[in-house]
């Protein structure tokens, strides 16, 4: 059979590997990492995914011993690469230098995976450990300045290893590398898997899951929940599907009315709007921990839905829940086998997991990525502005409103000063943690903030150098503009919570950004998502206690992202508009890629 098996070690990009192979028209199957080798005898190739563990730890994932003796081509990525070396007699060690983000590798031998490619390749790294010594019989294929064994192969056994991730969009020739593995090494001959052909299968799956029950569907207006909801309506009929739009008070300006009008325009009017704005903000109260905030929001979504269900059908248990969950939501929530939790999505809180275990949840898009969802949306005939709506988190502005329980001054760091010394700029560290993803694991670390004269194209390299060399940092931001001179000795993180006033201020700043993006669309890169964050960094005087952060990113699927490089003049114009809002001390520009930082700050 022309099939590729992906063995899942809990990597953040496991399903992305499968999707990249599917993009070639080849069927893939994701299986447990320790699957019995006998069950893989009918596949053409095997990929060992990345994962959050270290191969030299006692309880780290292992493949079955007989896997390497099947005579089937094997490709190990990141953790999978290290495991091949570890199990076949090489040596892996914890690296003194971590690599997160863009790297340049030099191709030593342009064969196998690298056939037809150039002598140097721009790739995406996310690792702390490295292969130090090749196993017997293996040849070195590629190296980087900080990773000697960036690629290796055993020519006779058809076993390959890559320390970098060819499956992510930012490995420039990643798809060509995967293509070489699938067609040249695995000798796959048929290409008959197409995403657009999945619509009938998805609707059949919805009917099988519903089992005659009706579906009550949480809609947000985002492309994921819109497509999943529309599929349920198509599969079950409008009379058997009811949408709920919960107005949390955490949406962007005019968002609610625009979303409802969009649904009416495509003939879907079976949606109830629930005003729960005070309930959500009051429910979060003084909670500052991002995981707890997400859990509270997830629980309140279900409570609001339960209240409506009680009104709709208090004595009938003939309803199940519908959600627009896509695969990154589950992998980042740690719901895949051996995966590390990066952040809990509101559709993966305990109450939702209990409903899933009771077979009371339908999630049509659970195996899809956002770009695939958009392809489905186009095939379903949905309007372009709905298909391409900016991704927006389910918890809304709550996870863009950073909170703090106490006042703390910013501080300077010798390590940071050393990294910045060659660039003629200054910086300090803000002791307010944000979520990141490093080496397939969640990180929760402080933010380095830079100021001074630096060109935008240089920022990426500086940010990477900071994160890779300073263990307590996972995110770097740059001061675009501030009210007056920057005085680090007076700057501090203030105690601040999720309040109606802070959300309103963030909403206005976000609206300024969205208007600016529309007005200057021809001058901006093709931005995939543009979160705007309010951050309690400022001076002691009340007028300047808040900072607004701009977080424009380039991506295709949200699993990896590069910060969007915007012209300095445009950035300063946008910052000047935002600083007209009362209470804003400065405007920052997040210059961190994913990894090491997540796209959202929480």
How would you class 157 by CB atoms within 10 Å of its CB: exposed for 0-12, middle for 13-18, buried for 19 or more?
Answer: middle
Measured distance between the N- and C-terminal CA atoms of the chain, rounded to whole angstroms: 43
Q: What is the DSSP string of 71-118?
A: ---EEEETHHHHHHHHHTT-EEEEEEEEEEEEEEEEES---GGGTT--
Strand order in the sheet with 546-550: 426-438, 441-451, 473-482, 584-590, 546-550, 532-535
Count Cβ atoms within 10 A of the Cβ of residue 62 and give its class: 0-12 exposed, 13-18 middle, 19 or more buried: middle
As a three-state string, the secondary structure of 44-78 is: CEEEECCCCCCCCCCCCCCCCHHHHHCCCCEEEEC
Distance, in Å, from the CA atom of 151 to the CA atom of 162, rounded to the nearest integer, reads: 4
Q: How many CB atoms lie within 10 A of CB 500?
A: 12
Query: What is the enclosing helix (H) or strand (E) of 502?
Result: helix 500-519
Q: Are 482 and 589 in contact (CB under 8 A)?
A: no
Residues forming beta bridges with residue 562, ordered by sequence position: 554
Coil vs helix vs strand at 283: helix
Q: Which residue of the set 99, 127, 154, 167 is catalytic? A: 167
15, 81, 165, 170: which one is catalytic? 165
Q: Are the CB atoms for 592 and 476 separated by under 8 Å?
A: yes
596: cis peptide before it, omega within 30°? yes
Helices of type H across 470-499: none
Radius of gyration of the chain, Cα coordinates, nearest whole angstrom: 24
Partners of 272 in the β-ladder: 244
Give the number of C-alpha atoms closer than 13 A to the C-alpha of residue 397, restricted to the C-beta side: 32
Query: Is 508 annotated in the active site?
Result: no
Q: Is 78 a catalytic residue?
A: yes
Q: Which residues pair with 411 in a beta bridge?
A: 429
Asked if 494 is an active-site residue, the reply is no
Question: Is 76 within 8 Å of 83 (Cβ atoms)?
Answer: yes
Q: Please check whether residue 224 is in contact with residue 370, taking contact to mean a CB–CB distance below 8 angstroms.
A: yes
Query: In whole angstroms, what is the distance from residue 253 CA to residue 251 CA?
Result: 7
User: Which active-site residues does the annotation give?
Assistant: 78, 165, 167
């Amino acid at each position: 059979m022309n099939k590729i098996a992906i063995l899942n070690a809990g990597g953040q990009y496991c399903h992305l590997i499968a999707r990249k192979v599917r993009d070639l028209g080849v069927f893939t199957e994701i299986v447990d990492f320790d699957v019995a080798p006998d069950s893989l005898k009918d596949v053409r190739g095997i990929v060992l995914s990345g994962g959050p563990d270290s191969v030299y730890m006692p309880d780290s994932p292992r493949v079955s011993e007989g896997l390497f003796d099947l005579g089937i081509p094997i490709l190990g990525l990141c953790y999978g690469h290290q495991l091949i070396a570890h199990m076949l007699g090489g040596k892996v060690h914890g690296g003194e230098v971590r690599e997160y983000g863009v790297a340049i590798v030099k191709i030593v031998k342009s064969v196998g995976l690298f056939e037809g490619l150039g002598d140097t390749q721009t790739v995406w790294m996310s690792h702390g450990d490295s292969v130090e010594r090749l196993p017997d019989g293996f040849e070195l294929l590629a190296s980087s300045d900080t990773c000697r064994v960036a690629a290796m192969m055993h020519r006779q056994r058809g076993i390959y290893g890559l320390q970098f991730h060819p499956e992510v969009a930012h490995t420039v020739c990643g798809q060509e590398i995967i293509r070489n593995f699938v067609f040249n090494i695995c000798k796959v001959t048929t290409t008959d898997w197409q995403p657009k052909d999945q619509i009938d299968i998805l609707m059949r799956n919805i009917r099988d899951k519903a089992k005659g029950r009706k579906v009550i569907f949480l809609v947000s207006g985002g492309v994921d929940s819109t497509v999943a909801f529309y599929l349920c309506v198509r599969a079950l009929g409008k009379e058997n599907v009811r949408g709920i739009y919960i107005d949390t008070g955490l949406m962007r300006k005019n968002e609610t009315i625009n979303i409802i009008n969009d649904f009416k325009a495509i003939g879907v009017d079976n949606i109830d709007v629930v005003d729960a704005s005070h309930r959500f903000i009051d429910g979060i109260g003084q909670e500052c921990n991002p995981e707890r905030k997400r859990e509270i929001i997830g629980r309140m979504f279900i409570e609001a839905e339960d209240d409506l269900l009680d009104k709709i059908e208090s004595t009938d248990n003939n309803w199940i829940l519908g959600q627009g969950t896509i695969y990154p939501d589950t992998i980042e929530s740690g719901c895949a086998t051996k995966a590390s939790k990066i952040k809990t999505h509101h559709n993966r809180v305990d109450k939702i997991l209990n409903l899933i275990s009771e077979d009371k949840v339908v999630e049509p898009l659970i195996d899809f990525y956002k770009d695939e969802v958009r392809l489905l949306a186009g095939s379903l005939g949905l309007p372009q502005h709905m298909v391409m709506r900016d991704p927006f988190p389910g918890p809304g502005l709550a996870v863009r409103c950073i909170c703090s329980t106490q006042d703390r001054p910013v501080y300077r760091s010798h390590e940071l000063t050393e990294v910045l010394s060659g660039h003629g700029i200054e910086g300090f560290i803000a002791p307010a943690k944000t979520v990141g993803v490093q080496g397939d694991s969640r990180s929760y670390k402080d933010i380095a903030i830079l100021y001074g004269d630096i060109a935008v194209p240089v920022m990426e390299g500086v940010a990477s150098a900071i994160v890779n060399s300073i263990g307590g940092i996972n995110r770097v931001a740059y001061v675009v503009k501030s009210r007056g001179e920057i005085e680090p000795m007076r700057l501090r993180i203030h105690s601040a919570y999720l309040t109606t006033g802070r959300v309103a201020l963030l909403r206005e700043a976000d609206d300024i950004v969205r208007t600016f993006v529309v007005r200057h669309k021809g001058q901006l890169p093709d931005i995939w998502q543009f979160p705007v964050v309010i951050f309690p960094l400022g001076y002691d005087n009340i007028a300047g206690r808040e900072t607004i952060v701009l977080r424009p990113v380039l991506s295709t699927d949200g699993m990896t992202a590069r910060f969007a490089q915007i012209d300095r003049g445009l950035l300063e114009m946008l910052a000047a508009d935002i600083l007209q809002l009362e209470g804003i001390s400065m405007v920052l520009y997040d210059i961190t890629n994913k990894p090491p930082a997540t796209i959202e700050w929480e």
